[in-house]
Amino acid sequence: MKADYINDVEKVLCSEETICATVKGLGDTISADYKDKDLVLVGLLKGSVVFISDLMRAITIPCDIDFMDVSSYGASTVSSGVVNIIKDLNDSIEGRDVLIVEDILDSGRTLSKVVNILKERSPASIKVCTFLDKPEGRQVEFEADYVGCIIPDEFVIGYGLDYNECYRNLPFVGVLKRSVY
């Protein structure tokens, strides 16, 4: 079935204006915190691409960028709990200040596993920045260091987030109508 982009959205949770202001705030904070550090942003594919491209332009200090792809939900809306590396980083992170950039923190499984994997590679530091946080979805103990917006436990799409690989290019974050999935 073809997605009916705008009509499939129940309500908007984060407007383009809210996103813009939030990312600017995160960029300012990160720029101050990482002044004189060797910052490398590690984006988790594919969901983080929209956020990371805005965030890196809101960061006013030099930074490098790399990507990793790990499996999480597949085509379902419920976390499987299994995390596999599909695409690893291109470069070494040894001695560098790693900031993992993610679209959403839900159960916490993906990020806690990725942090553990990357910690083994001797970075100077490792922190996490997530655009969205759904604290009610947490299944494992995990807190991000930088959070854009805290949202209720609803399935959201847009600003990089998908349902069945659809809706990633919506410029806002919205709740998907229950009738769609």
Query: Given the rule CB under 6 A, which residues bind ligand IMP?
Result: 47, 72-73, 79, 102-110, 155-157, 161
Read off the DSSP letter of residue 33.
H
133 vs 136: CA distance, rounded Å: 9
User: Do 27 and 58 touch, CB atoms closer than 8 A?
Assistant: yes
- Does position 108 bind Mg ion by CB under 5 A? no
How far apart are CB 157 and ligand IMP at their closest, in Å?
6
Contacting range for Mg ion; rule: CB under 5 A; set: 32-40, 41-49, 144-152, 169-177: 41-49
Cβ closest to ligand IMP, residue 49 vs residue 61: 49
Work out the end-to-end distance of the chain between its first and last CA atoms, rounded to an integer number of angstroms: 11
168 vs 138: CA distance, rounded Å: 23
- Does position 47 bind Mg ion by CB under 5 A? yes
Cβ closest to Mg ion, residue 34 vs residue 70: 70
Q: Which residues are catalytic?
A: 106
Residue count (the chain) = 181
How far apart are CB 102 and Mg ion at their closest, in Å?
6
User: Do 144 and 161 touch, CB atoms closer than 8 A?
Assistant: no
Task: Tell me which residues touch Mg ion (CB under 5 A).
Answer: 47
